[in-house]
Structure 1
Amino acid sequence: MGTQPSVLVVEDEAPQREVLVYNLEAEGYIVTQATSGDAALEMALEDSPDLVLLDWMLPEVSGIEVCRRLKSRPETRMIPVIMISARSEEVDRVRGLETGADDYVVKPYSVVELMARIRTQLRRVRPASVGEVLEFDDISVNTEEHRVFRDGAELHLGPTEFRLLTTFMERPGRVWSRDQLLDRVWGRDIYVDSRTVDVHVGRLRKALRTESNTNDPIRTVRGTGYALG
């Protein structure tokens, strides 16, 4: 819950969109959809997806323009964008990448290849979702085995604290609002009060204290939320 990566699919043609959504959901991703550039920009700001699959040809605002705007805003700049286009000319690919797209896939594409490219991008932004070991200072998290160590000593965290910690460790320094943490850790379908976030951050802080290291790596950012380091 709350740990699967989320993908925003931006495609105005229903059949193409359905194929993408079907395949992404089969891989276990949480999928949101937009059929226009404006809707895509709004949803990217609101939902902060882990990845955007963006079609070049969109009504009104083109995919290139959507990509340019996503990459020029600090809130959405870090989200990987994979551009999908029927334009196979080198000049178009270069233009797509110059606008800030992280990858460029030409139609017709192989679904298997597209899924592999999505995993590659997600490994960069959500290493925990693909089973990597995360490290920050003296803390290390093995996401496959659900084990946490600090200074070599194993810590025992509850499942929610574990998800909170992996969220922080995937993006050290990033300030997370309580709402963003609720979405990422609890999932948006569950009604949880934002005070719950504070309680669990408190528990996580307590769990991270060891005999050899009592430093608190989690920073409270007044009026905003929390950050690691």
Structure 2
Amino acid sequence: MSITLVAKILIVEDSPSELELMSHYLQDSGYNVIKAAGAKEAMEKAVSENPDVIVTDVVMPEMSGFELCRSLKKNPITEKVPIVICSSKNLEIDRLWAMKQGANAYITKPYTREHLLGTIKSVVV
């Protein structure tokens, strides 16, 4: 008998509707979802909840997704957690900058359920 481990995903998104949509897609697909409305809350939850993947927006109050990415990669507890940046910024420079900050993948809004799930599966080791 095999046991399937449910991946824990931390979603960082300041838009309540976007947060709900993403949560719905992921929970529907069997993922355990942790929500954070901003980068500071996300840092705390990333350390305490030990997620398997972090999906973050870029444009947020307090701290951008890029800054969050840098902070997570500098922290020994979270440095190995794959990060997917999900942003409305769709220029190649944004994608390159995200990778330079330590992101493992970059998807743009609007995204499909399949695109989101496929991207998350591609970064989970």
Query: Using CA pairs below 8 Å that are at least 6 residues apart, which structure has the higher relative contact order?
Result: 2
Q: How far is 1:28 from its partner?
A: 0.5
Give the paired residue count.
123
SS at match of 2:76: coil
Q: How far is 1:110 from its partner?
A: 1.8
Among 51, 59, 73, which residue is 2:61 paired with? 59
Residues 136-194 of structure 1 show CA distances to partners (whole Å, capped at 9, x for unaligned) of xxxxxxxxxxxxxxxxxxxxxxxxxxxxxxxxxxxxxxxxxxxxxxxxxxxxxxxxxxx
Among 35, 38, 41, which residue is 1:39 paired with? 41
Q: Which residue of 1 aligns with 2:6?
A: 4
> What TM-score comes out, normalization by structure 2 length?
0.94
Distance 2:65 2:115 in 1: 21
Q: How far is 1:3 from its partner?
A: 2.3
Q: Identity over the aligned pairs, expressed in percent?
A: 33
| Runs of 4+ with >4 A deviation | none
* Letter aligned with residue 71 of structure 2: R
Among 98, 101, 108, which residue is 2:100 paired with? 98
SS at match of 1:105: strand
Distance 1:42 1:80 in 2: 16
Q: How does 1:15-34 map onto structure 2 within 5 Å?
A: 15-34=17-36
Distance 1:62 1:2 in 2: 34
Distance 1:29 1:74 in 2: 25
The verdict on how the C-alpha distance between 1:74 and 1:2 changes in structure 2, with shifts beyond 3 A counting, is farther
Where structure 1 has 5 or more consecutive residues not aligned to the other structure, the ranges are 125-229
Q: How does 1:70-219 map onto structure 2 within 5 Å?
A: 70-122=72-124, 124=125
Distance 2:11 2:98 in 1: 17
Residues 118-138 of structure 1 show CA distances to partners (whole Å, capped at 9, x for unaligned) of 11112x1xxxxxxxxxxxxxx
Where structure 2 has 5 or more consecutive residues not aligned to the other structure, the ranges are none
Residues 70-101 of structure 1 show CA distances to partners (whole Å, capped at 9, x for unaligned) of 01111101100000111111111110110000
- C-alpha RMSD of matched pairs (Å): 1.3
The verdict on how the C-alpha distance between 1:112 and 1:62 changes in structure 2, with shifts beyond 3 A counting, is same
Distance 1:21 1:2 in 2: 20
Q: How far is 1:111 from its partner?
A: 1.8
Distance 1:77 1:2 in 2: 25
> What TM-score comes out, normalization by structure 1 length?
0.52
